[in-house]
C-alpha cells in the first residue's frame, strides 16, 4: 500500500472519528445541562470567554469546539495507531482511557483557570459538578473516537506495515 494512500486513510478516518466524537461529546454536555445536573454549556463558555459576552459566543465557541475536536481526533488516532491493537473493543477502551486523561486535564483547566477569569458570572463558578461533567464528556469523546478507529482497521493495518518495515520486508 502506498504511503499517500495510508496518509489519506489516516486523515479521513481521524476526521470522521473526531467529528463523531465532537457530536457525542456535545450531546453529553447538552444532556447534562438539560437535566439540571450542571451548567455544562462549554461551547457558550468558551465562546464568551473570547467575545466577552453572549453575542456570537455560540458561533465562536462552536468553531473552536469543532476545530479542537477534529485536531484531537488526529492526536487520539495517532496514539491508537501507535498502540497498534486491532479490533473494536481494545480501541474503544484505549480511546476511553485517553479520554480519561484528557478529561481530567481539561476539568482542572476549566475549574482552576477559566472560571476565575471568565467575564460572565454564569461561568465563574467552577465546581466538582463542572469538572465531572467535562471529564465524562471527554471519556465519551475518546470512546467514540476509539470505536470509529477500531472499526476502520487502521491500527491493525498500520501496525502490520510497521512490523514488516522493522523486519526488513
The 3-state DSSP class for residue 22 equals helix
Instruction: Give the global pTM.
Output: 0.89
C-alpha cell at 109: 483547566
The answer to whether the CB of 144 falls within 8 A of the CB of 17 is yes
Tens digit of pLDDT at every position of the chain (169 positions)? 577 788 889 999 999 999 999 999 999 999 999 999 988 888 998 899 899 999 999 999 999 999 999 999 999 999 999 888 888 999 999 999 999 999 999 888 877 777 778 888 888 777 888 889 999 999 999 999 999 999 998 877 766 555 445 444 4
The residue ranges of every structural domain in the chain are 3-159
- Sign of the four-CA dihedral 122, 123, 124, 125: positive
Amino acid at each position: 500500500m502506498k504511503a499517500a494512500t495510508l496518509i489519506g486513510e489516516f486523515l479521513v478516518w481521524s476526521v470522521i472519528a473526531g467529528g463523531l466524537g465532537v457530536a457525542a461529546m456535545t450531546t453529553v454536555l447538552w444532556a447534562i445541562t438539560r437535566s439540571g445536573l450542571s451548567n455544562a454549556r462549554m461551547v457558550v463558555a468558551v465562546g464568551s470567554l473570547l467575545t466577552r459576552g453572549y453575542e456570537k459566543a455560540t458561533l465562536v465557541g462552536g468553531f473552536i469546539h469543532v476545530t479542537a475536536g477534529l485536531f484531537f481526533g488526529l492526536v487520539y488516532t495517532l496514539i491508537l495507531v501507535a498502540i497498534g491493537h486491532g479490533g473494536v473493543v481494545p480501541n474503544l477502551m484505549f480511546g476511553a482511557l485517553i479520554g480519561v486523561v484528557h478529561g481530567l486535564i481539561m476539568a482542572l483547566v476549566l475549574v482552576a483557570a477559566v472560571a476565575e477569569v471568565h467575564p460572565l458570572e454564569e461561568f465563574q463558578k467552577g465546581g466538582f459538578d463542572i469538572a465531572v461533567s467535562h471529564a465524562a464528556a471527554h471519556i465519551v469523546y475518546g470512546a467514540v473516537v476509539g470505536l470509529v478507529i477500531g472499526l476502520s482497521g487502521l491500527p491493525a493495518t498500520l501496525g502490520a506495515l510497521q512490523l514488516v518495515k522493522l523486519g526488513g520486508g
